[in-house]
Chain A
Amino acid sequence: MPPSRDDAAVFTRIFDRHHHAVYAYLLGRLSDPELSRDLLQETFLRVWRRLSELAPLPDARQRAWIFTVARNLAIDSYRVSAARQAAEAELHHQAATQPTTVPGPHQHAEFAERLAQLDAAIRHLPEEQRVILSMATAGGLTSRQIGEALGEPAGTIRYRLSQARKQLAGALDLEDEP
């Protein structure tokens, strides 16, 4: 049966609400933007196929469902292509050889350099910390929302975020006292 305009509108609302966080999660796990985009598309294709079941669920359960799909796809991608090792080796190489140039024309060279240091430090975080940090910063989720998505208590998420920040502060010679 062809989709209705209502289906498309419902899907778009779900997509808009969750895609940044799912992408941040995938990027945190895979460290590969292209693969993360592919898996984001696959994740939401499954959302589309199960839209009638998913649409009535409350936001937190939708999020948990979507992240379960994304997590399974990420695990499958490790199994199939051993992409994780290759991507991480490549990223470590990139981090060592070419500093990331991020924002715009007005960025001071010193800030860009600090940003490159931060990027390298984040790549060296343990995966569980990197994923959570990515979801919190690039994905814009709260600790509670990350906990709901990953099936972990919010306190555990806050602790890991704090550990990640301490490691980053140490790597950048900053103090990060609350």
Chain B
Amino acid sequence: MTNPARHDLDQLLAAWAQARRLPDADAERIRQAIIPPVPALEASWWSELNSKLSTAITRATAIPGPALAALQ
């Protein structure tokens, strides 16, 4: 059987602990103050990536010169 007085102390301690916890917003402010900003990607990275991919695909799928000559 639960001792009511013990339950009372547990309940009070739980409420006390809740009031003493660091609020999440404060924790997040501290975390953000510590981590330096990660450098952002340059605005042109996507178009540069697309351009490189297109070039690679074109090269990989082009018919080699000798093969083309043989076909003609």
Taking CB atoms, residues of chain A closer than 8 Å to B15 are: 102-103, 111, 115
Total number of residue pairs linking A and B with CB closer than 8 Å = 100
B22 adjacent to chain A (CB < 8 Å): yes
- Measured CB to CB, the nearest residue on chain B to A6 is B38
Interface range for A: 35 or more
Interface range for B: 20 to 34
B19 adjacent to chain A (CB < 8 Å): yes
In the complex, how many angstroms separate the beta carbon of A146 from the nearest chain B beta carbon? 14
Q: In terms of DSSP, what is the predominant structure of the interface of chain A?
A: helix
Q: In terms of DSSP, what is the predominant structure of the interface of chain B?
A: helix
Chain B residues packing against A (C-beta within 8 Å): 3, 5-6, 8-9, 12-22, 26-27, 30-31, 33-36, 38-39
Docked CA distance A137–B12 (Å):
11
Interface 1/0 per residue, A106-140 and B, CB below 8 Å: 00000100110011001000000000011001100
| Beta-carbon contact of B30 and A175 below 8 Å | no
* Among all A-B residue pairs, the 7 with the closest Cβ atoms: A137-B17, A102-B19, A138-B17, A174-B5, A138-B20, A23-B22, A175-B5
A24 adjacent to chain B (CB < 8 Å): yes
A30 adjacent to chain B (CB < 8 Å): no
Taking CB atoms, residues of chain B closer than 8 Å to A168 are: 9, 13
